[in-house]
Amino acid sequence: MADILLREEDLKFASTMVHTLNTILLTSSELFQLRNQLKDLRTPVTSLTAPSSGDLEVTVDFLTEVDKLVQLIECPIFTYLRLQLLDVKNNPYLIKALYGLLMLLPQSSAFQLLSHRLQCVPNPELMQTADSTKPSTGFKRVTSSNIDYTELLQHFEKVQNKHLEARHQRAGRAEQLDRRVVL
């Protein structure tokens, strides 16, 4: 499905399909096992996209999607994700990505919700204990070394640039139509 959507010329359709498939993935009870497998693939990609998002054209549609993401993070399905915020030492990329999303949001209800959630993240210095030299028995951390994060970031930026070009083309066509109507 991903390969087909990569070749899709209609970016709005592709975006709608990705959004719909993500919603199904995140909410369908039949995909519980798949969600469990995916949650072990926490990667630095999230922290790479947050800083680069400053280069994006932030539109109302984009902010609406970020708002939906914040609402989704608060769903029961993502309890494990919120609990990972307690393990500050092993989840810096997750925390950095959430702060990146917070900085993108205007001060809205989603901003307040995410800001409040991040205020609950413990200070790593306060979390150290006398036996902090012992290996952590907390959350299991699974990494995958065969993921090319640079390639993923480049793909993300390429797709964002395609969306930007498509918006500019639509705006140009709308402007031409407006000129014709005036004449």
How far apart CA 37 and CA 24 sit, in angstroms, is 16
Helix axes 92-104, 109-119, angle to 10 degrees: 150
* Weakest-pLDDT range from 16-20, 85-89, 117-121, 125-129: 125-129
Beta carbons within 10 angstroms of residue 44's beta carbon: 17
Q: Is the dihedral of CA 69, 74, 80, 85 positive or negative?
A: positive
pTM of the model: 0.54
The string of pLDDT tens digits covering residues 86-107 is 988 888 888 888 998 898 899 9
The Cβ-side half-sphere exposure at 147, using a 13 Å CA radius, reads 11
- pLDDT given at position 115: 94
The string of pLDDT tens digits covering residues 135-180 is 544 444 445 557 777 888 788 888 888 888 888 888 788 777 777 7
How far apart CA 170 and CA 160 sit, in angstroms, is 15
